[in-house]
Amino acid sequence: MTQYQTIAASDAVTRTGAIKLYGPEGFAGMRRAGRLAAEILDALGAHMVPGVTTEEIDRIVYDMTIAGGAVPATLGYRGYTHSSCISVNHVVCHGIPGAKTLKDGDIVNVDVTPLLDGWHGDSNRTYLCGTVPLKAKRLVEVTYECLMRGIAVAKPGARLGDIGHAIQTHAEGHRYGVVRDFCGHGVGRLFHDAPEVVHVGRPGTGPELKPGMIFTIEPMINIGRPDVKVLDDGWTAVTRDRSLSAQFEHSIGITDDGAEIFTGSLNGTEIPHLPR
């Protein structure tokens, strides 16, 4: 049985396994943390040019996070030592920023999580660097559509399986593979909490969505097979078949009649404009 737990403003926050139902103060906190995440991601678009190193991008994330009164939740998280994850081309997620330079035609995911006044604004986008081949642009576009289709079915009474189903049918309709090894998650005062938000599923299955739930949806979609492997650095996840992989992530809250996106772009640059 799925357990739910109503969270008062003063409650100590620990991982209990239950799905937390937050009140207005939780939504207010997530709005502020989510807005900062969006501002950071909005600013990064201009830096996605050939020759820039991923550690330079990570530095911008650090500086903007601190300037916004937050700390990067990934710094020191399970031994991770950077302010963002930057995943290029066939890297699925958890790419480690470093001396690697971006090149023309790369697709580049940046995942940020400012921790602001105790709330985690977790979001990521995939950017296009320079002139990107149509095949890769289509992957990025469809992956964004997968996220938004998942959010579109998120409302009270729906189930987590409905979200997974919406994502899976759209991705597989384009003959893409949906990554199973990583999923969305409850978020809020904890970075990673119950429930697991799987990006595949059957309609009408899984925990029911209730007002006050706060979680991420963050589909990772591959041009090829869904299978991934983690490199020897212990973090970098890549597609086993080396096919390109894209991802988008929002933190959302279930309202009385739908879902509120906490991490939406403030300047309309969330989806790279793709000539069709």
- C-beta neighbour count of 231 within 10 angstroms: 13
Asked if 270 touches ligand MF3 (CB under 6 A), the answer is no
Region near ligand MF3 per CB under 6 A, out of 57-65, 78-86, 102-110, 169-177:
78-86
Least Å from the CB of residue 276 to Co ion: 28
Q: Which is nearer to Co ion, 58 or 111 (CB)?
A: 111
- For 156, residues 6+ apart whose C-beta sits below 8 A from its C-beta are 209, 210, 211, 254, 255, 256, 257
To which H or E segment does residue 150 belong? helix 134-152
Residue whose pair of structure tokens reads 């879902």 in the numeric block = 259
Binders of ligand MF3 among residues 121 to 180 (CB under 6 A) are: 122
Out of 48, 85, 158, 197, the only residue in the binding site for ligand MF3 (CB under 6 A) is: 85
Residue 74 near which of Co ion, ligand MF3, none (CB within 5-8 Å, type-dependent): ligand MF3
How far apart are alpha carbons 72 and 276 in whole angstroms?
36
Region near ligand MF3 per CB under 6 A, out of 45-53, 74-82, 142-150, 261-269:
74-82
Region near ligand MF3 per CB under 6 A, out of 2-10, 21-29, 72-80, 226-234:
72-80
How far apart are alpha carbons 164 and 82 in whole angstroms?
30
Binding mask 16-35 for ligand MF3 (x = CB under 6 A): --------------------
Binders of ligand MF3 among residues 92 to 111 (CB under 6 A) are: 94, 111
Q: Which is nearer to ligand MF3, 121 or 132 (CB)?
A: 121
Half-sphere exposure (Cβ direction) of 59: Cα atoms closer than 13 Å? 8
Q: Which is nearer to Co ion, 249 or 270 (CB)?
A: 249
Positions of E strands within the chain: 4-7, 19-22, 71-72, 84-88, 91-93, 107-112, 114-116, 119-120, 123-128, 177-178, 184-186, 193-197, 214-217, 220-222, 228-230, 237-239, 245-247, 250-254, 259-261
Residue 4 near which of Co ion, ligand MF3, none (CB within 5-8 Å, type-dependent): none
Region near ligand MF3 per CB under 6 A, out of 75-83, 167-175, 222-230, 260-268:
75-83
145-174 as b/e: b if 16+ CB within 10 A: bbbbbbbebbbbebbbbbbbbbbbebbeee
Least Å from the CB of residue 253 to ligand MF3: 16
How far apart are alpha carbons 49 and 53 in whole angstroms?
9
Binders of ligand MF3 among residues 230 to 249 (CB under 6 A) are: 235, 249
Residues contributing to the site for ligand MF3 (CB under 6 A): 74, 77-78, 80, 85, 94, 111, 113, 122, 216, 218, 235, 249
